Structure 1
Amino acid sequence: MSSAQSSSFPRARFPAWLAPLALTLAVALVYANSLSAPFLFDDAGAVLGNPTIRDLTSLAVLSPPADGSTTTGRPVVNFSYALNYAFGGEHVVGYRVVNVAIHALAALALFGLLRRMFLSLRHKFPLFNCDAAALAAAALWALHPLQTESVVCIAQRTETLCGLFFLFTLYAFARSAEPTPRARWWQVLSVGSCLLGMAAKEVMVTAPLVVLLYDRTFAAGTFAGALRLRRGYYAALAGTWLLLAFLVLQNSGARGASAGFGLGVTPWTYLLT
């Protein structure tokens, strides 16, 4: 057997759509039994007791109640509830279907991100199956029991939406770093996703920094190189912090019952945990 033959092994070829389809079906099957569950815990305040989601055409949907509930200061989450209410009222199944769909989309974004990340390293590991590894990692994340609360509890849509926008911000950037005519549009999508994430949950604050770290590691090679090559993009990405700052300052008084503010937990301890 020649060295060329011994250094390569036949690998099964699957359609490109098979892995995303398998991941989506896995998420749907795992969470199918949660669709019939009633509203739980904070769901009442987020949906049943939320007057701002009753009229989708009103600007009130972008001004959630400043009552310390999970929607306070998170207009994108409140708007998603308003969409649910417009199409299904207070029927719980619709809210749960959307939660599962958001989680499935986040898993697909993670799969796409990991696939491109692994492909960038393929010159070092030529026999590495990028699709299989990305699918396995994304499935492990999507189906892990730790995800149950954020998917099953409707009020935890703040977590799933933030996760989706965070991952898509990274995925869109990874696409924009490729030398294609659509690179600029992927940058626009990345910034737009980051902006929506800032209006979904405050932990999105780290997204621009994670993008820069990804750029340095898998694209530009250095922080200085990343900022030099894409200074306009990073300026726009940093600009999304302004929206987050506005939402936090506007609703800071309504967060009195949240850990890290009114429960005797210092900001430093809150950051560490």
Structure 2
Amino acid sequence: MPVSSAAVSFFRQRLTAHRHFWRSSAVGSVLEPVLFLAAMGLTLGTLVDRGPGVPGGVGYLAFLAPGLLVAAAMQTATGESTYPVLGAIKWDRLYEAVLATPARAVDVLAGHLLYVAFRVTTSAAAFLVVLLLFGAAESPLVVLALPVALLTGLAFAAPVTAMAAALEEDAAFAALQRFLIVPMFLFSGTFFPVDRLPAVLEWFAWATPLWHGVTLARDLALGTVDGGSALLHVGHLALWTAAGTALAARALQRRLVR
């Protein structure tokens, strides 16, 4: 998607607004995953390591941390693409005001995705620092988990934006969280290998962007990444991003341009 000067201007407007609530957003985007990491990785992880452990002989903290990094990116991107998008269309009419300038609907989408990319990248970078302080990485390739988290976030943000742009009311967002985001968080490899799941759920996990992001980030953090598998994971995430962006552009054009 081309990024015009109008898209950059809208992105800057979102950054200006973000300055007023960055502290509260940091709590949800960084502190909550860190608490999960401490609670699950250091306490439950001790029990797991005393037992059969994680396949491959890695410690549970090292297994969990990159998964939480990517899962947090999913949650941040989804959160920025549900209520804020519908609100900007229907309640405060921010997008309508932007379109009163020479900006187009596609510029609104590009600016929104730039802002989501900023939110995901900064939150993931902060979490990555904590991950390193915890000693939860076994390879310097873990730094590449940051672009993986970004791509995973966009793979969720784009289709969720398309959904939000097509809605009249916000009730569907609760269903999205309850029936898609939370199950993916729990069953897409963040906390345990998906091959422990029943076959139907394992196939579900393989189809999700989160599993591909989590698996690639974990392979990088553990130093076990394979070039062919990495390309497959990146391709899957890029496909979700591209398809979602196309749908979102179409939905916003229909909704905003009368």
Asked whether the two chains share a fold, i.e. TM above 0.5, the reply is no
TM class by smaller structure? 0.3 to 0.5
User: Which protein, 1 or 2, shows the higher relative CO under an 8 Å CA cutoff with sep ≥ 6?
Assistant: 2
Greater Rg, structure 1 or structure 2?
A: 1
The structure richer in helix per residue is 2
TM-score normalized with structure 1 length:
0.33
